[in-house]
């Protein structure tokens, strides 16, 4: 196939060592989970760096014992690659600070996403920035699609189990572009592409490599 959805490597940028394999696999975009703590732009998925970490990413972080900084991850990304900053916990200045870190390292194109919509709202008119409003539940998605006027989303990232052919059509009519996560197999990726989904967020770099190879045919 030619063209097709953006291929986004889910959390690949949460470890600096994960950037090169994701780029080599053919990912168009490298996702990075970003928090701000004490003015530092920290890269991690767990909400807090406390004694209890609830997911596998948290256990991996605990084993590392040192949180990478966003700047450290960006330095591993080759020219022409695109970071996707998934903004998590932190003050309002998290968004402009994260974007500034990308600009300082020469990234002209940046994707910025969050379920904290007020964070990405602040970057709506920034040049070269794709702003993504995310939703992980049905009520959250419905609330997002009710946003009026200047707050209306341009790109919506909805969790995979919220989507079907009709929901995708409805979101595209309202927002224009749809992304989704997680995408786990090639058949589902083809189905989503046929529905008009414009961005697939995948954990499996092997799947990204297969989809990228198909796209080049």
pLDDT tens figures, 144-163: 999 999 999 999 999 999 99
Q: Percent of the chain scored above 90 by pLDDT?
A: 84
Pairing mode, strands 199-202 and 177-181 = parallel
Confidence check: pLDDT of 1 > 60: no
What lies within 8 Å, CB to CB, of 49 at 6+ separation is 37, 42, 61, 67
> In the chain, where does DSSP find H-type helix?
19-25, 56-64, 70-74, 94-104, 117-121, 138-145, 165-175, 186-195, 205-216
Mean pLDDT of the residues in the chain: 92
Confidence check: pLDDT of 55 > 70: no
User: HSE of 24 in the Cβ direction (CA atoms, 13 Å)?
Assistant: 7
Q: Which helix (H) or strand (E) holds 204?
A: none
Do the beta carbons of residue 5 and residue 198 sit within 8 Å? yes
Mean pLDDT of 174-201: 97
pLDDT at 45: 80
């Amino acid at each position: 196939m030619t063209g097709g959805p953006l291929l986004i490597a889910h959390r690949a940028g949460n470890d600096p060592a994960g950037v090169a394999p994701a780029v080599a696999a053919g990912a168009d975009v490298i996702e990075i989970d970003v928090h701000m703590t004490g003015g530092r732009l920290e890269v991690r998925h767990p909400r807090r760096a406390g004694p209890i970490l609830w997911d596998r990413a948290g256990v991996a972080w605990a084993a590392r014992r040192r949180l990478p900084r966003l700047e450290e991850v960006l330095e591993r990304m080759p020219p022409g690659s695109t970071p996707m900053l998934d903004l998590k916990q932190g003050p309002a200045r998290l968004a402009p600070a994260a974007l500034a870190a990308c600009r300082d390292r020469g990234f002209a194109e940046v994707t910025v996403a969050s379920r904290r919509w007020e964070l990405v709202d602040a970057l709506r008119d920034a040049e070269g920035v794709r702003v993504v409003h995310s939703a992980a539940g049905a009520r959250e998605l419905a609330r997002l699609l009710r946003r009026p006027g200047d707050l209306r989303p341009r790109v919506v990232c909805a969790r995979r189990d919220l989507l079907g052919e009709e929901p995708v059509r409805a979101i595209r009519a309202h927002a224009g572009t749809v992304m989704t996560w997680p995408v786990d197999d090639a058949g589902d990726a083809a189905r989503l592409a046929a529905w008009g989904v414009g961005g697939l967020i995948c954990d499996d770099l092997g799947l990204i490599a297969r989809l990228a190879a198909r796209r080049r045919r």
